[in-house]
Amino acid sequence: MAYGQSQFASDLKALGINVPRGTLARLEAYAALLTKWQAKINLVGPATLPELWRRHFLDSAQLAPLLSETNGTLVDLGSGAGFPGLVLAIMSDWQVHLIDSDQRKCAFLRQVALDCGVLDRVTIHARRIEQVTGIAADLVTARACAPLDALLDLAEPFAGEGGSCLFLKGAQAEEELTQARRRWTMRVETRGSLSDPGGTILIITQLKRKTQ
């Protein structure tokens, strides 16, 4: 049986997250839009489309328990098709900034946010990450955006020393951490990914660039 919304809801319940029916309906609308737009622009790897609920929605939604109960500001770097930032916007009441330089992907993100009723809390920046300034984030997220060392360069202006970072990483997470620690001091907690046996969630706080 293909992995679908019922298994998605069941897996999240195991994490202590009860997904309301309305939230599932919004994610269903998201999935339908992604499938429709995928025929025109490459939003996700074509081979992952049949596994959309596990590979993309669950992968993103597993970060929801790590958001504080107090609503805050989230910046999602290299948002692409909206993972994980737009999924987290749908599953929370946070203010979310989605940053991606691809105009067509930003048009897709805007349509999903509109149809899912979260456009009032979602700001879409159709620019390079380095060009977006003036946002103080409580949380910075990213998936498949850049190697960790470069990703921290992009995240630091938003997170500063007081914000946190949640990064979805693959099997090279430890190697990337070793490389990044040459230029950064940080507190790191790692967790296994619910959606990918080889994946890792990096929880980074107290980020500070080392002085040369």
Residue 133 belongs to domain spanning: 5-209
Domain total of the chain: 1
Q: How many Cβ atoms are within 10 Å of 205's Cβ, its own excluded?
A: 14
| Rounded percentage of the chain residues whose pLDDT exceeds 90 | 89
pLDDT tens, residue by residue, 193-208: 999 999 999 999 999 9
Report CA-CA distances (Å) from 117 to 14, 88, 209, 210. Answer: 27, 13, 38, 42
Phi, then psi, of 18 in degrees rounded to 5 = -95, 115
Alpha carbon 7 to its chain's center:
20
Share of the chain above pLDDT 70, in %: 99
Indicate yes or no: pTM above 0.75.
yes
Extended strands (E) in the chain: 73-77, 95-99, 122-125, 139-143, 164-169, 184-192, 200-209
What's the burial of 17, exposed, middle or buried (CB within 10 Å: 0-12/13-18/19+)?
middle
For the CA atoms of 136, 119, 16, 12, the dihedral, rounded to the nearest 10 degrees, stands at: -120
150 vs 136: CA distance, rounded Å: 19
Long-range contacts of 157-162 (CB under 8 A, 24+ apart): 157/133, 158/75, 159/75, 159/207, 160/136, 160/207, 161/206, 161/207, 161/208
Average pLDDT of adjacent 10-residue blocks, the chain of 212 residues: 88 91 96 96 92 96 89 96 98 97 98 98 98 96 94 96 93 95 97 93 96 77
pLDDT at 111: 98
Looking up residue 30, the CATH number of its domain turns out to be 3.40.50.150
Query: Contact 90/30 with Cβ under 8 angstroms?
Result: yes
